[in-house]
Structure 1
Amino acid sequence: MLDDTERKIYRILHNYSVGRRRFPSMQELMVKTGRSERDITQTLISLEDKLFIIWDDKRQVESIKLLQGWEQQPKSEPIKPPENLDYWTKY
């Protein structure tokens, strides 16, 4: 699972790549997140460690490649019908 900052930056990267067909600059990320360049860099490295992005050239945010479309959700258990269903269907 991603923490809040990772999720926010990842969503910004994803939305920029889909909507504007480019990645945001470091300055744009700083404006959008309200974080410092150091915090954003650490978060991007964390996203790379978790295999959400590939960031070959650490000097340019524009060199990032997204590996996943969005954070994968854990699989949930199938929903079981209530046990007292007979009461509602037979009486």
Structure 2
Amino acid sequence: MLLDIERKILRILYNYSSGRRRLPSLEELVIKTGRTKQDIKKALISLEDQMYIIWDDKRLVESIKILQGWEHEEEQLKSKPSINNTDYWTQY
């Protein structure tokens, strides 16, 4: 399961690549996320470890290749609670 910062960066990378036909720079990621460069680099390395991206040249964010632009499906299913309409009225 992705951390919030990892999910946010992955979505930014994906949206930039599809909408603007390029990847954001590190400075643009700092502006978009409100995080430090060090936090962003840690999140990018974590995304690479989890096989969401490939980042060969660690000096350039623009060198990233996106493998998956969203969380793995099985992780999304685990994170969603199974609440239906009856649960709301009987449990709360």
Establish whether residue 62 from structure 1 lines up as the match of residue 62 from structure 2.
Answer: yes
Higher relative contact order (CA 8 A, sep 6+): 2
What secondary structure, in the 3-state scheme, does the structure 1 residue paired with 2:57 have? Answer: coil
CA offset digits 1:23-81 (Å, max 9, x no partner): 000000000000000000000000000000000000000000001132122286xxxxx
TM-score, L = length of structure 2: 0.79
The count of corresponding residues between Structure 1 and Structure 2 is: 76
* Poorly superposed stretches of 4+, deviation over 3 Å: none
Give the aligned CA root-mean-square deviation in angstroms.
1.3
Structure 2 unaligned segments of length 5 or more: list them: 78-92
Higher helix content, 1 or 2: 2
Partners in 1 of 2:38 and 2:65 — Cα distance?
20
Structure 1 unaligned segments of length 5 or more: list them: 77-91
Aligned to 1:42: 42
Rg larger in 1 or in 2?
Answer: 1
TM-score, L = length of structure 1: 0.79
Q: Percent identity over the alignment?
A: 66
